[in-house]
């Protein structure tokens, strides 16, 4: 997968206002901790996540996505008339039908000629959306597009807490399966891409590689629970198995990516990864033989924000001056399923 005509015109994010610490969550789970003899501080110790953020109750993903997408379009400096595609790529959506992208497209004031759709692929949705739009630009079908998404983890975290408190037969092993659900945070991010002629000073999307290892599709599953109807949303994760399967897939995908781009590890200036937890980051960078100082971790204070995790870290890195002209930036995306998508950008 190589691109000759695609530029990154803008990357931006929206952070929720409410901060919830891991200590706050454990305080609510104190009855469970006491009954099972679990030490407080376990959540942060095991994951490295000290806090995450939530949007106000009742916030719809499309509402925030519309604001983030509008800002990305404005930051790009490209006339709205040139935007021929909008993809909404987060797990969270306003409803099953119509596409949340329809509301976002309307609120952002994009042309009726635009290609509009939702894309859902666990934590890879925004990167997948960026590739779809880049392909269309490379083929000459559109001149510019924006991919956006908003993840709201409040209902998952709070539903998990309520379920753990209500289950008097709960065991330590049960808690382990639910632990990943307590790491989830919220956020919103958008990426605007365009034909290089529209943005000559933009940053080049060079290409990359993707791989699937779908034998591991049951290691992390989420949705409405048929076992516990009172829960709006539940997620079950075999964290250890997912860690090792995900890193193994990442290693192979990174080899493909370097081969496609003609890169070696020495060519990489900056790295932005999907943000899961401290152990995942450490093992991933070790296996890919990438210097941890090149990475820009945000999971400690944002938690796992799903499909918006990587682009949010990327946006924060840009905002904080972590990327300079000439840098070669690696975007390392991994999502449950398992799927991996890795891209290279020349700044």
146 within some domain: no
Tens-binned pLDDT, residue by residue, of the chain (347 aa): 999 999 999 999 999 999 999 999 999 999 999 999 999 999 999 899 999 999 999 999 999 999 999 999 999 999 999 999 999 999 999 999 999 999 999 999 999 999 999 999 999 999 999 999 999 999 999 999 999 999 999 999 999 999 999 998 888 888 887 888 899 999 999 999 999 999 887 799 999 999 988 887 766 667 765 444 444 566 666 667 767 787 899 999 999 999 999 999 999 999 999 988 888 889 999 999 999 999 999 999 999 999 999 999 999 999 999 999 999 999 999 988 789 999 999 99
333 within some domain: yes
1 within some domain: no
Residues near 179 by beta carbon (within 8 Å), at least 6 away in sequence? 43, 46, 47, 237, 239
CATH number of 250's domain: 3.40.47.10
In the set 123, 194, 199, 220, the catalytic residue is: 123
Direct distance between the N- and C-terminal alpha carbons of the chain, in angstroms, rounded to an integer: 18
261 within some domain: yes
Question: What is the spatial distance between Cα 265 and Cα 127, in angstroms, rounded to a whole number?
Answer: 21
Q: Does residue 92 carry a catalytic annotation?
A: no
Give the H/E segment covering residue 146. Answer: strand 144-151
147 within some domain: no
Identify the pLDDT of residue 31.
Answer: 95
Residue 247's Cβ-side half-sphere holds a number of Cα atoms within 13 Å equal to 18
Number of domains in the chain: 1
303 within some domain: yes
Question: What is the spatial distance between Cα 330 and Cα 252, in angstroms, rounded to a whole number?
Answer: 15
Give the H/E segment covering residue 290. Answer: none
Q: Do 198 and 78 meet the contact criterion of CB atoms below 8 Å apart?
A: yes
Q: Does residue 44 carry a catalytic annotation?
A: no
145 within some domain: no
Which domain does 208 fall in, by range?
Answer: 203-346
Q: Do 116 and 101 meet the contact criterion of CB atoms below 8 Å apart?
A: yes
> What are the pLDDT digits (tens) for 234-285?
666 666 776 778 789 999 999 999 999 999 999 999 999 998 888 888 999 9
């Amino acid at each position: 997968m190589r691109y000759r005509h695609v530029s990154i015109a803008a990357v931006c994010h929206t952070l929720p206002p409410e901060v919830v610490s891991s200590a706050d969550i454990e305080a609510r789970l104190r009855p469970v901790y006491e009954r099972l003899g679990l030490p407080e501080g376990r959540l942060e110790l095991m994951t490295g996540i000290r806090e995450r953020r939530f949007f106000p109750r009742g916030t719809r993903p499309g509402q925030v996505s519309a604001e983030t997408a509008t800002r990305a379009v404005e930051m790009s400096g490209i006339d709205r008339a040139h935007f021929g595609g909008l993809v909404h790529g987060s797990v969270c959506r306003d409803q099953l039908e119509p596409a949340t992208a329809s509301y976002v497209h309307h609120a952002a004031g994009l042309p009726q000629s635009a290609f509009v759709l939702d894309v859902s692929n666990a934590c890879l949705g925004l990167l997948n959306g960026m590739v779809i739009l880049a392909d269309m630009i490379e083929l000459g079908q559109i001149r510019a597009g924006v991919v956006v998404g908003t993840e709201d983890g409040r209902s998952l975290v709070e539903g998990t807490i309520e379920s753990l408190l209500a289950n008097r037969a709960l065991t330590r092993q049960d808690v382990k399966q639910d632990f990943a659900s307590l790491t989830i945070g919220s956020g919103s991010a958008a990426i605007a891409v365009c034909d290089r002629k529209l943005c000559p000073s933009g940053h080049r999307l060079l290409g990359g590689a993707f791989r699937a290892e779908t034998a591991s599709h049951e290691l992390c599953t989420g949705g409405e629970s048929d076992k516990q109807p009172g829960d709006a949303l539940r997620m079950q994760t075999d964290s250890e198995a997912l860690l090792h399967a995900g890193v193994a897939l990442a290693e192979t995908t990174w080899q493909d990516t370097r081969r496609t781009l003609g890169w070696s590890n020495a060519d990489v200036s900056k790295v932005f990864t999907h943000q899961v937890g401290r152990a995942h980051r450490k093992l991933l960078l070790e296996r890919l033989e990438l210097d941890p100082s090149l990475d820009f971790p945000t999971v400690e204070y944002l938690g796992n924000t799903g499909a918006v995790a990587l682009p949010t870290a990327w946006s924060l890195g840009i905002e904080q001056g972590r990327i300079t002209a000439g840098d070669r930036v690696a975007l390392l995306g991994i999502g449950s399923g398992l799927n991996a998508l890795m891209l290279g950008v020349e700044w």
